[in-house]
Structure 1
């Protein structure tokens, strides 16, 4: 599937091994994850401007001790397995006290995740355990050592999340108070548990969680994510085939678990992938993805939540969406968004750059405050701490989107030619034009998008890749529209909309859009991107987001029924959701919008739609067709 081919599970397994290296780095440290593409720059300035009144407390206990494969029986009889890490005395014996419990639910095999720190494993357990917490790692149903068959956030698995927390709440080594931690899959599980109102759940700390499975990651803009999804499905399947640690003491149960995991691969993972690529039901949004989307579960959640997100993350769209929903609920919620890809955001290695302490210190501060009743001086931390691309500064805000700052709209002007001249981006209507876009099937390959949509794996292998630093070569495979050199800064924060008038020779096609910063020396920095299949352009206004009456975040149904190809010669507006970020285009720089017909290896049309996606698209500008870019801010 990688590089726009269906491939085999063996090919996906090769990439799985690379991602697996980032799951957990035994004996690693915060420096184990190399700097990401957005961090090849002068050191960022921290947001905190005054000394904190909070200081991390010292260790209470000298060691830890682990009990493996505790049986956790669900209400349907399926037995999940958990590893319990407890504080230990100098003799290595568990402390005989009831303590609060931090729970992490993973699909990546608890034995791997609990083995070290870094990567998807985050900061590890020992920091909190030595300060008076128990830590429980649990394999999700059908993964690792747990029984049952994996369903990837199925309703049954989401119910399990609440049941696991309830089980931890009742154990004799627990004082009844539970927190949850973890990144990515483990972060989403926290929101599912909170949505099921798990007893005893006092606080959660999700890093890089997703909100809307279909739009965030499965099919950005209506095409299938073949850069990450096969890799991820193979990762879960592969780690589920590691023999359980209890195979020696209970071989029958262990073999039964492995058989269930193999069956799930054949009955869920592979058929799901093939059906999506063949354009069947999994290629469209619907109940299957709604059931697996955290945003559907948290409409009344008020559990104190600390979130970490990344501007180059797989869940760049979803994390701030979850933050805003929780803030509307009145939950005590805070969010740090930094210049991180998925593995960087998961490890939390550079969270300290935001000025509020390391990831381990922040977790201690959060859980101590909400679980142990210690004063964490949380008022010192703004609701939103974000990295502003362009200025390379950390800034703070009360909300993710600042309604007081309004919106900034630029109109596309004139004509652009691939590999040639650029059109304009103007504040007032400009000249009309027709620009022909020939989809080039290598567009996107030499960009930060490639690293983003393979979860940051490429950054692990080749952090100095020149494609991460300059997008100019890639841009010339598409249409370019840009401002003149700015005489004043343009700041924006939040979701962005591109409103484009197009026609298509094949009646369809992909609009892959990038918002970029062009420096005076010609270096082009990709800030963010968005994608939209033309035939899925139907806009649901009641679910879309407007600011000062202008659209900043379109919502498209992406159903089979909403698919509507253009008629020959038909010109129609298409709204492209560009994923949210925070940036400034400084004076002397240019704001650039680039439009292409592919984003390789990120996206691929379902196989039946591929012929229509490869034909020319015409983009229209000018007073009669006001193609535009709308950004929140000014």
Structure 2
């Protein structure tokens, strides 16, 4: 191990062993104050390799972030920056111990790699209890991290490890079927594509010398030994194979789902308006379902991880954890139950406090699909059916131009009447905003810098609803059986559309596009990256085994009748005079006219 001199006042313990209840040993890096004492613990546990430097493993994302937010790289040597985790140099001086753990089968931890499994959740609970009982711990452990490191928190918190004091779930899915791997029953390329092999299997324990080296310790990130390919394969559960094998919401997914009612610790759930596909729905659904009486929701915009690392993001995390891990007076007592960064075109956000979701006073407007001019009309409409090729641009319906500024914030839904020339149909919906010239206004998404307002999906054979869990604005599908279509026979489809937030300027139009494939716009790029993006990256749906052309390369037909209206349900928020507002990005950047950055890292959740 190479010598690393920690910053003054910090002690680092590398590769500390933690033995699980079945004897498997996980490895942790512990960053703690040098002054003896009992400190609160900020813990993370995941498969990305605790020794993989952010700057090396995710170089383009790192450069984009610090170009846009130089503050992230200030006040720290950046030696210990790791993907989606806190920088110890910004936390240890404030009296926290930061514990980073490679999850089972990943990095320098032995065992079989089976991501987000019940076994992994139990491991995380064991790690919490280990950290809560060390000499340097005050017995209060909080879990903090983005995405994967957030998703796992719902599971662990529902198991109630005694020393868990709070969770901060930053852009983390809650339902791995609906939020991540099978949107509306359609297989997502997130689960079927390169994420698992490129980001997780690449640092599986045993990759050893074929993998990266920690620039700090000089050790192999993926373990001290190098195993052959057959052994590595035997020591991991392949995600794509599981997603293809489990097309319904079966025990595979249920075993990875938290008992949300059992969560009783304080929860801060932070989601992203631009996160349709992974980093949005789960934060809201998890917040609503969590049994804790002490829970807060914060919704922001921008890229997937930049808000987490900015001074503003770190301050929010420390106000929350400082209150519940240290007992400090951080002002958290005044935090509203819901804090929204309300989005305007041009990536302008203003902060507003709310008390419930959907928002108090929401006016639910039905915009009916009218085939006579392809408009979204206040009144039901009948008319001729519309055919569209599932490989084509789809059909777009537009509202009239808004006569006054109008806010739309909350969940959406659509009801369609559709037939297919085959035995199934995949329905893709894109809710879009168009300026007075008819040009689409796109937004910075978590993983793509030009995304529509929001998206919805449904496989028609999965149209069966759960009547106990469905709401008019949030249809909930059971996904427990396939009900094939009869070719050319009309079916009624209720489609969940993920929440959104936008203040629509006067003269703009809202649009709904119905497609038989993913929404796509003109290919575009982000700085420091050669990847071409089209508006949904990396949450597309293109796997031929899940979407065989014989079934899904076809013609679908939309049908319209006064006695069976088709519509888009939209949450309109009445104007609220006198509400304090803060330009969020201007507050972050210290200026009123600079826009948020584009697309940190297109392919990495």
Please, what TM-score do these two structures have when normalized by structure 1? 0.74
2:349 to 364, 368, 393: 393
CA distance 1:608–1:410, change in 2 (3 Å): closer
Is residue 84–residue 147 contact of structure 2 (8 Å, CA) maintained in 1?
no
Tell me how far apart the structure 2 counterparts of residues 373 and 484 of structure 1 sit (CA, whole Å): 53
Q: Name 2:336's counterpart in structure 1.
A: 382
Cα displacement string for residues 324-377 of structure 1 (whole angstroms, at most 9, x for unaligned residues): 123xx24322222122343445xx145x6xxxxx22222222222112111111
Contact 2:268 2:296 in 1 (8 A): yes
Structure 1 pair 378/583, CA: closer, same or farther in 2 (3 Å)?
same
Q: Is contact 1:247-1:254 (8 Å) kept?
A: no
Quote the residue 2:467 is aligned against: 541
SS of residue matched to 2:401: coil
C-alpha distance after superposition, 1:46-76 (max 9, x if no partner)? xxxxxxxxxxxxxxx9432211010100111
Partner of 1:188: 151
**Which of 225, 235, 241 is residue 188 of structure 2 equivalent to?**
225
User: 1:283: which partner in 2?
Assistant: 247
Distance, in Å, in 2 between the alignment partners of 1:276 and 1:372 is 41
Structure 1 gap ranges (5+): 1-60, 88-93, 353-357, 416-421, 444-476, 546-550
Name the SS of the counterpart of 1:68 in structure 2. Answer: strand
Q: Which residue of 2 aligns with 1:109?
A: 49
Query: Is 1:592 aligned with 2:511?
Result: yes
Give the drift of 1:557.
Answer: 2.2
1:556 equivalent in structure 2: 477
**Aligned counterpart in structure 1 of residue 371 of structure 2, from 414, 422, 428:** 414
Q: CA deviation at 1:315?
A: 2.2
Is the CA contact (8 Å cut-off) linking 1:413 and 1:433 kept in structure 2?
A: no
Flag structure 2 segments of 5+ consecutive residues without an equivalent: 1-6, 55-77, 442-451, 521-536, 574-605
Establish whether residue 319 from structure 1 lines up as the match of residue 276 from structure 2: no
For residue 552 of structure 1, report the CA deviation from its aligned partner. Answer: 1.0
CA contact (8 A) 2:369 2:381 kept: yes
Q: Which structure has greater helix proportion?
A: 1
Q: After TM superposition, give the deviation of residue 248 of structure 1 in Å.
A: 11
For 1:276 and 1:182, locate their aligned partners in 2 and report how far apart those are by CA, in whole Å. 25
Which of 487, 490, 509 lines up with 1:571 in the alignment?
490
Say what the alpha-carbon RMSD is for the aligned residues.
2.8
Question: How do 1:113-512 and structure 2 match up within 5 A?
Answer: 120-227=83-190, 229-234=192-197, 235-240=199-204, 241-242=207-208, 254-255=224-225, 259=227, 263=231, 265-266=233-234, 268-270=236-238, 272-274=239-241, 276-277=243-244, 281-293=245-257, 296-313=258-275, 314-326=278-290, 329-344=291-306, 348-349=308-309, 358-390=312-344, 392-394=348-350, 395-415=352-372, 423-440=374-391, 477-512=393-428
Q: Secondary structure at the match of 2:87?
A: coil
Would you say the 8 A contact 1:119–1:344 is kept in 2? Answer: no
Deviation at 1:225, TM superposition (A): 1.2
CA shift digits 1:415-455 (9 cap, x unpaired): 5xxxxxx5011111234221111012xx6xxxxxxxxxxxx
Distance in 1 of aligned mates of 2:103 and 2:81: 20
CA distance in 2, matches of 1:107, 1:342: 18
**Cα offsets for 1:504-539 (capped at 9, x unmatched):** 111312111011111112221320011111111111
1:137 positional shift: 0.5
Deviations 1:83-137 (A, max 9, x none): 00012xxxxxx22222222111121011126875777334412211111111111
Residue 312 of structure 1 and its aligned partner are, at CA, apart by 1.7
Cα displacement (A) at 1:593: 0.5
**Normalization by structure 2: what TM-score?**
0.77
Q: 1:544 to 1:506 in 2, by over 3 A?
A: same
Aligned match of 1:68: 14
Instruction: Pick closer, same or farther for the CA change 1:145–1:102 going to 2, 3 Å.
Output: same
Greater mean deviation of Cα atoms: 329-338 or 495-504: 329-338
Please report how far the alpha carbon of residue 172 of structure 1 lies from its aligned counterpart in structure 2 after TM superposition. 1.6
SS at structure 1 position matched to 2:453:
strand
- Aligned mates of 2:52, 2:390 — CA distance in 1: 42
Distance of 2:322 and 2:331 partners within structure 1? 11
